[in-house]
Amino acid sequence: MTVTEARAPRKADVRRPPRTEPPVRTRLRRAATPWLFLTPALLLFLYFKFIPMAQAVQMSFQEVRPFLGNTYVGGENYSEIAGSADFGAAVWHTVVLAVATTAGSIVLGLALALLLEGQTRSLWFIRSAIFLPVVTAMAVVAEVWRVMYYPAEGGALNSVLSVFGMGPSEFLNSPDSSLASIAFVGIWRGAPYDMMIFLAGLAGVDRVLYEASAVDGASRFRRIWHVTLPGLRPVFAILLTLAAIRGLRIFTEVFLLTNGGPDGSTEVLLTLTYKLGLERNELGVAAAGTVLLFLILLVLTIASRLRRREVGAR
Amino acid sequence: MGTIAAVLAVAAATATACSSGGSGQQQDESQPLEVWIRQDAGSPAAESAEALTKAFTKESGIEAKLVAVGVTDFETKLQQRTAQKDLPDIVINDTGQLGNLVTQGLVREVDREGVAGSGDIAGRAWEAAQGYDGKYYGVPFNSQAFALLIRKDWREKVGADLPKSWDELTELAVKFTEEDPDGNGKDDTAGMVVPGTTTRGYLTWWFSTMLWSEGGDFVKKQGDGYTAAVDEPGSVQAVEKLQAMFCDSEVVQPGASTADSSTTHTVFESGKGGIYLTGPYMLPRFDGTLGKDKYEVVAAPPGAEGSAALAEGENVYLMAGSGNEEGQQKFAEFAASPAGQKIGLGVDNGGIIVRLPVNTKVDGAAERKDPRWDVFQKVYDDSGRNAPALPNWSTVRQISSEGLNGVVSDCSRDVGDAMGKLAGEIDAELEKQEAKG
């Protein structure tokens, strides 16, 4: 659309009658053009996303028996999942993991970004090396960490601990340390990603401000606190939103590292849903769980948008 | 317009074809059968299954196409086909799945007496094809029982005899853990190799043999249904022994409470564990990795209440909505016949889909020329015990594995209290399955 307007001659053409509204057909065509371009994507989304989503909502009100036919059970699935202690625990574990992983990744990511900012040639290599965990498949990462977390003296991490006279730790194998161990893997993997976004943000901070504060005699820490961090505010907003969504959807690492165990100490929303749906064959209850997760995400998204608008209006 | 008319015509034709489906599916005895087995494509086991279907086609003249559906996502794939209301004709799958299949209406009932050669099939195997209502929903194909694999070289090194009770077994496990039986100077061996994860109910599966031998149970018959029995004294005592293995004597391998069977196989074959309760299908693998002379196969020792060992197996399920019910029946009969069973033994290619033959006319150990298989056969015949015929045992198995996992992960937890709580959960599930007596 912009292209056609840009091409329209700006000079007033005297021989033409004054501009009137274009004919209806043209207007319709113009309105239809973007939709035509969107159609293929929308059709795919409709078939692979929106219809399954609607079906999940429908299933959440049914006892699902694909071959015999589903029966409507009203809110029974919801009261079953919301009332179960497992669900409450899973929500709590999910939130703890999300908060710990997000906070850890951001702090570590920022520290890495501050250390590795600059143009020096060798930094390029180090940054790539640090970024490697992000591009490695989660399944591989989880298997490697499972081996490293081997809960006896011979284990890779435990032999490191023993150098410092500690351990051996049970890591994933004890209800006390399992959640922290998973969060650590999440931070290890999430921090380099955050670092990259911070690096991009740091490039956008005005150098003059650093120089000015240096002239004013600000210490290194004060420069970070008063110049860098305020300059990175939009980056934080992006990272927090991404992390919240990523955190609540956590599945692969938990599934592969502990599958919710030991003693349900690492059960998160999606592993619980997976178990209910595919191991206990209660697809209706599992669907109710995912609908609840969807509602939580929806509320969080709207709340954060409203808040941003409020801040923007101020 | 021409295309629209054509589409409508096709849609109308499909609609009529569908309406004649369901239980009154039109029958065509020449229609090819689609056979599903839970084996990875390209594995020797899949080759044996392929040989079985080929032999069936040769014998009956009915076309049969084998689909080896992967071990890990078999249930998901079956659910997908269920959603399309187009099931394969034959599914060869675990006896433990029977309740699930019946509840969902995916399988046809089988007339036990109407199956050719029915009398030659072991009664215990038939029992595993029986639903909660007492009717049969599959034809037995494969059975198996579990026995102990013990590191012979380690046992001789620590100078111990073969254990005659669960307590002696634990003592042996303690020696394996503490006396450095592999002689490498490091404290890196475990006595007992246990898959303690809750995934697919592994812990319950492993613990069944011990629980039953000690006189405990997960559920017991009551009235015309079942009720939880994990909180009874015999059960609690057995679970206390289980907890002690993890917490007091610490004879299980590190990480046992989250280990699945792929992990435990590796623990045993890499010489990190000395006693492993498992099925006969592992013998070929351990012969290769560990060496045949390094370990011995013995029946699990009797407990307080005598011997009981978990028996399992696979059935040939005749799936609902097939267009060739006659062919389904013939396939099941062929698979259970001596000819079918011998192919399944996989003597030539190592693809073992029949572990212990269900047909009493076939002597598996003699066919294989390996007496160790006789140990498993004896365990099955003398003390084999099938999982209870609940409407859905796999759910109860899952719930109880979570309860047991809690006790072994948290050593301070009181077993009596925990089992009381677990019994409540099992009862609630039985209620839900309408099987509470």
- Tell me whether residues B100 and A281 touch, CB distance under 8 A: yes
Residue-wise pLDDT for A273-314, tens only, equals: 988 887 777 889 999 999 998 898 888 888 878 877 776 665
Q: Which of A96-105, A298-307, B257-266 has the lowest mean pLDDT?
A: A298-307
B106 CA to chain A: closest CA distance, Å?
Answer: 7
Residue B423 contacts residue B235 (beta carbons within 8 Å) = no
Cα separation of B407 and B425, whole Å? 15
Q: What is the pLDDT of residues A220-262, one digit of tens each?
A: 888 888 888 888 888 888 888 888 878 888 999 999 888 887 8
Which of B255, B392, B406 is nearest residue A263 as measured by Cβ atoms? B406
User: Could you report the per-residue pLDDT of A28-81, keeping only the tens digit for each?
Assistant: 888 888 999 999 999 999 999 999 999 999 999 998 887 787 888 888 899 988
Could A66 and B392 be called an inter-chain contact, meaning their C-beta atoms sit closer than 8 Å?
A: no
**How far is B226 from B229, CA to CA, in rounded Å?**
9
Give CA–CA dist B277/B148, Å, rounded: 4
Kindly state whether A150 is in contact with chain B, defined as any CB-CB distance less than 8 angstroms: yes
| Mean pLDDT in residue range A102-115 | 92
Q: Write the residue in A66, A173, A259 that is nearest to B79 by C-beta.
A: A66
Cβ distance of A151 and B410 shorter than 8 Å: no
Can you tell me the mean pLDDT for B260-279?
A: 92
Name the residue among B353, B283, B365 with its Cα closest to residue B50: B353
pLDDT band at B417 (very low <50, low <70, confident <90, very high): very high
CA–CA dist A99, A103 (Å, integer): 6
- DSSP assignment of B361-430 equals T--HHHHHT-THHHHHHHHHHHHEEEPP--TTHHHHHHHHHHHHHHHHH-TTS-HHHHHHHHHHHHHHHH
Residue A210: the pLDDT is 85
Q: Report the alpha-carbon angle B416-B422-B427, nearest 5.
A: 125
CB within 8 Å: B104 and A263: no
Neighbours of B106 (CB within 10 A): 24
User: A83-87: long-range contacts (C-beta < 8 A, 24 or more apart)?
Assistant: A86/A264, A86/A267, A86/A272, A87/A272, A87/A289
Chain B contact for A261 (CB, 8 A cutoff): yes
Per-residue model confidence (pLDDT) at position A234:
85
Q: Which residues contact A66 (CB under 8 A, 6 or more apart)?
A: B79, B82, B83, B85, B104
Quick one: pLDDT at residue B109? 95
CB under 8 A, 24+ apart: contacts of A106-111:
A106/A194, A106/A236, A106/A239, A106/A240, A106/A243, A108/A187, A108/A191, A108/A194, A108/A195, A109/A190, A109/A191, A109/A192, A109/A193, A109/A194, A109/A195, A109/A197, A109/A198, A109/A239, A110/A194, A110/A195, A110/A198, A110/A232
pLDDT tens digit sequence for B325-375: 999 999 999 999 999 999 999 888 778 899 999 999 999 888 988 899 999
A65 CB burial (10 A radius; 0-12, 13-18, 19+): middle
Instruction: Give the percent of chain B with pLDDT over 70.
Output: 95
- B72 interface with A at CB cutoff 8 Å: no
Q: By three-state DSSP, how is residue B114 classified?
A: helix
Measured in whole angstroms, how far is the alpha carbon of residue B130 from the centre of its chain? Answer: 15
At residue B12 the predicted structure's pLDDT band, cuts being 50, 70 and 90, is very low
User: Which tokens in the block code for residue A252?
Assistant: 């692969």
Tell me, yes or no, if B394 comes closer than 8 A to chain A by beta carbon: yes
Residues of A with CB below 8 A from B254's CB? 150-152, 155, 173
According to the 3-state scheme, what is the secondary structure of chain A?
CHHHHHHCCCCCCCCCCCCCCCCHHHHHHHHHHHHHHHHHHHHHHHHHHHHHHHHHHHHCCEECCCCCCCEECCCHHHHHHHHCHHHHHHHHHHHHHHHHHHHHHHHHHHHHHHHCCCCCHHHHHHHHHHHHHHHCCHHHHHHHHHHHCCCCCCCHHHHHHHHCCCCCCCHHHCCCCHHHHHHHHHHHHHHHHHHHHHHHHHHCCCHHHHHHHHHCCCCHHHHHHHHHHHHCHHHHHHHHHHHHHHHHCCCHHHHHHCCCCCCCCCCCHHHHHHHHHHHCCCHHHHHHHHHHHHHHHHHHHHHHHHHHHHHHHC
Kindly state the tokens that stand for B241. 């022994």
What pLDDT is stored for residue A10 in this prediction? 53
Whether residue B292 contacts residue B105, with contact meaning beta carbons closer than 8 Å, is answered with no
Calculate the average pLDDT of chain A: 85
Task: With beta carbons under 8 A apart, name residues in chain A contacting B398.
Answer: 275, 279-280
Domains, in order of start, for chain B: 31-144+312-386 (3.40.190.10), 147-310+389-432 (3.40.190.10)
pLDDT confidence of residue B8 = 41
A2 confidence band (pLDDT: 50, 70, 90): very low
Of B52, B93, B106, which is closest to residue B333 (Cα–Cα)? Answer: B52
Please tell me the distance from the alpha carbon of residue B140 to that of residue B134, in angstroms, as a whole number.
15
- Residue in B201, B203, B110 with CA at minimum distance from that of residue B429: B201
Other beta carbons less than 10 A from residue B134's beta carbon:
7
Region of B350 please: left (phi>0), alpha (psi -120 to 50) or beta: left
Q: What pLDDT is stored for residue B13 in this prediction?
A: 40
Q: Which residues of B touch A153 (CB under 8 A)?
A: 186-188
Closest CA in chain B for residue A283:
B79
Q: Is the pLDDT of residue B1 over 50?
A: no
Round to whole Å and give the CA distance between B349 and B135.
36
| Chain B residues lying within 8 Å of A66, measured CB to CB | 79, 82-83, 85, 104
Q: Is any Cβ of chain B less than 8 angstroms from the Cβ of A258?
A: yes
pLDDT attached to residue B2 = 43
CA A230 to chain centre: 23
Q: Say which residues have a Cβ less than 8 Å from residue A103's Cβ, sequence separation at least 6.
A: none
Percentage of the residues of chain A whose pLDDT score is greater than 90: 29
Contacting residues for B385 by C-beta, under 8 A, at least 6 apart = B208, B212, B308, B309, B310, B311
Of the candidates B353, B210, B376, the residue with the CA atom closest to the CA atom of residue B280: B376
pLDDT greater at residue A118 or residue A46: A46
Cβ-defined contact of A265 to B409 (cutoff 8 Å): yes
Residue to mutate among B78, B409, B431, with most A CBs inside 10 A, is: B409
**Phi and psi for A72 in degrees, rounded to 5?**
-75, 130
Which of B107, B257, B263, B393 to probe by mutation at the A interface, max A CB count within 10 Å? Answer: B257
pLDDT surpasses 90 at B93: yes
Nearest to A259 among B105, B188, B197 (CB): B197
Closest CA to B232 of B416, B393, B74: B416
Assigned CATH class of A86-313: mainly alpha
B193 three-state secondary structure: strand
Binned at pLDDT 50, 70 and 90, residue B18 comes out as: very low
C-alpha dihedral, A165 to A171 to A177 to A179, nearest 10°: 140
DSSP letters along B271-322, please? TSEEEEEE-GGGHHHHHHHT-GGGEEEEPPPPBTTB--EEEEEEEEEEBTT-
CB B230 within 8 A of CB B216: yes
pLDDT of residue A3: 46
CB contact under 8 A, A261 and B76: no
Domain boundaries, chain A: 2-59, 86-313
> What is the C-alpha to C-alpha distance for residues B316 and B307, in angstroms, rounded to an integer?
29
pLDDT digits (tens, 9 = 90+) for B190-237: 999 999 998 888 999 999 999 999 999 999 999 989 999 999 999 999
Q: How far is A98 from chain B (nearest CA, A)?
A: 22
State the CB neighbour count (10 A cutoff) for residue A120.
Answer: 10
Q: CA-CA distance, B57 to B65, in Å (whole number)?
A: 9
The two beta strands, B309-318 and B384-386, are parallel
**Cβ B258–A65 below 8 Å, yes or no?**
no
Please tell me the predicted confidence (pLDDT) of residue A267.
Answer: 92
Flag whether residue A265 sits within 8 Å of chain B, measured between CB atoms: yes
Give the minimum alpha-carbon distance from B187 to chain A in angstroms, rounded to a whole number.
8
Q: Reduced to 3 states, what is the DSSP secondary structure of residue B359?
A: strand
Q: What share of residues in chain B are helix, strand, coil (percent, to 5)?
A: 50, 20, 35
Q: Does B104 touch chain A (CB under 8 A)?
A: yes
ipTM of this model? Answer: 0.72
**For chain A, how big is the Rg over CA atoms in Å?**
27
Q: Is the peptide bond before A262 cis (omega within 30 degrees of 0)?
A: yes
Share of chain B above pLDDT 90, in %: 69
Q: What is the mean pLDDT of residues B63-82?
A: 87
Straight-line distance from the first to the last Cα atom of chain B, in angstroms, rounded to the nearest whole number: 63
Nearest beta carbon to residue A261 from set B75, B197, B321: B197
Give the contacts of A170 (CB within 8 A, at least 6 positions apart).
Answer: A151, A176, A177
Q: Which helix (H) or strand (E) holds B122?
A: none
